[in-house]
Structure 1
Amino acid sequence: MMIHYNFDFENGQQLKFQVDLDRQYDFKQDLSMAPDWTKLENNKCQNCPLKSQQYSHCPAALDLDKVMADFQKIPASTKVYVKVTTTEREYAKRVTLEEGVRALMGLIMATSACPIFSTLKPNARHHLPFASKEEFILRSASLYLMHQYLIARDGGEADWELKGLIKTNEQLQLVNHAFWQRTMTAFQSDANSKALLSFFTLSSNMSASLQSQLSKMKSVFYSG
């Protein structure tokens, strides 16, 4: 399944990206020319399960390298028209570059070979670019509860209290923070750094106050 991102800038510049959601990572590929910032031990996430003896480079960093290089000299506040094309439909919106980069980077990270980011792959398969905070919370909780229903249906013990979702976002918070530090060693980019910091904020909010944020969602189901 392919998702296409087109960035059209007011000065006529265009940047196009194609993300294969089912891409396979070749752990035996020649990475001798890969940038230093993508090496696994460069600001390695403290919860990373990958071993340096087997993996010389961070798979998520390798996937993001071209994107971050393309955007590194463009201010985050730059207005851009972004069109996202999926198999089922198209999304288009005039946004700040930060918002467009955040959507693209989130999709790439969620479909990378990183064991932590890969927990978000179900979200990526139903990609919703430019999602609001409310949409993000509803989608995350809904997909998690669907997974728990399937576990229960197959005879497993379901987590209806969403404890696992909170734990997942705690893990993502650690990865997002470390990843931001990693990229700052190579890129001085306003757009890239702000996009990564927004991921850190989202995972932080989900892990610290998920129940209170879900309580605010009552208006979706009840009036008055």
Structure 2
Amino acid sequence: MDSEHVVYRFELKDREIEFNVATRPGQVDKDEAHPEWARLGYKQCKCCPLKESECAYCPAATRINEVIEAFADSQSIERVKVTVTTAERSYFDECDLQVGINSLLGLMMATSGCPVLKELGAMASFHIPFCTTRQTLHRTVGSYLVKQYFKQRRGEEADWEFKELKELYSVLEGLNQDFSKRIQSSATSDALTNAIIMFLATSVVVASSLDDQLARHEAYLTNSPNL
């Protein structure tokens, strides 16, 4: 197992499914056949800067198509065993299928080559599946602050007030709504639809109440039990 791949293995009642996910964005093969719903112009996200003349397919849609096909007949509340293997360690959880898919899609979409979701790519390098809301908050804010530190080291203006982070998640909130429409018209499984909504709905929370979320979890985030 190398550091640029993460393996997700799903154990369902009647089968096992494995996904070997590259954590570095790849190029979509222009000669490969992709479904019609994956075309860039098909319900294209309003925030997407790509043009059909330069990119025929949506990078995120083509990346997750194999997941849609694999779980086409599965139900969101089906209990599954999920093992996630990285170069450093393995993780295991027994959960609803939609929870496992949500974790998988978070990694796949952030590393799909989507120019909007690529801003989440730094966290993909340190992928941790099955995170709680508080853990996701810590990883999101922590990753952003590290980026600001290096910007400051380079002599650039750092954003310690999270203005750019809030703007990013405001954009992701719109992507959430648009991409959900794309996926709902193509996925026959409610597990896929629910997982997409769960993954992208995080943007709504961060964009609308980041300051409140940080204040609410300050004791947890700073290991200060007396707060």
TM-score, normalised on structure 2?
0.94
Contact 2:105/2:199 (<8 A) preserved: no
1:12 Cα deviation from its structure 2 partner: 3.5
Q: Which runs of 4+ in 1 moved over 2 A?
A: none
Match of 2:171 in 1: 171
Residue 92 of structure 1 pairs with residue 92 of structure 2: yes
1:199 Cα deviation from its structure 2 partner: 2.2
Aligned-partner SS, 1:94: strand
Match of 2:17 in 1: 15
CA–CA separation in structure 2 for the residues paired with 1:210 and 1:84: 29
Q: How does 1:56-135 map to 2 (within 5 A)?
A: 56-135=56-135
Which residue identity lines up with residue 8 of structure 1 in the other structure?
A: E
1:133 Cα deviation from its structure 2 partner: 0.2
Match of 2:31 in 1: 30
Residue 207 of structure 1 pairs with residue 210 of structure 2: no
Q: How does 1:128-147 map to 2 (within 5 A)?
A: 128-147=128-147
1:23 Cα deviation from its structure 2 partner: 4.6
Which residue identity lines up with residue 154 of structure 2 in the other structure?
A: D
Aligned-partner SS, 2:87: coil
Residue 4 of structure 1 pairs with residue 7 of structure 2: yes
Aligned-partner SS, 2:136: helix
1:8 Cα deviation from its structure 2 partner: 0.5
1:52 Cα deviation from its structure 2 partner: 1.1
Residue 218 of structure 1 pairs with residue 218 of structure 2: yes
1:200 Cα deviation from its structure 2 partner: 3.0
Gaps of 5+ in 1: none
Structure 1, 56-65 or 170-179: larger mean CA deviation: 170-179
- Which deviations, in whole Å up to 9, do the C-alpha atoms of 1:79-124 show, x marking residues without a partner? 0000000000000010110110000011000001110111111011
Q: Give % identity.
A: 32
Which residue identity lines up with residue 5 of structure 1 in the other structure?
A: Y
CA shift in 2, pair 1:105/1:160, >3 Å: same
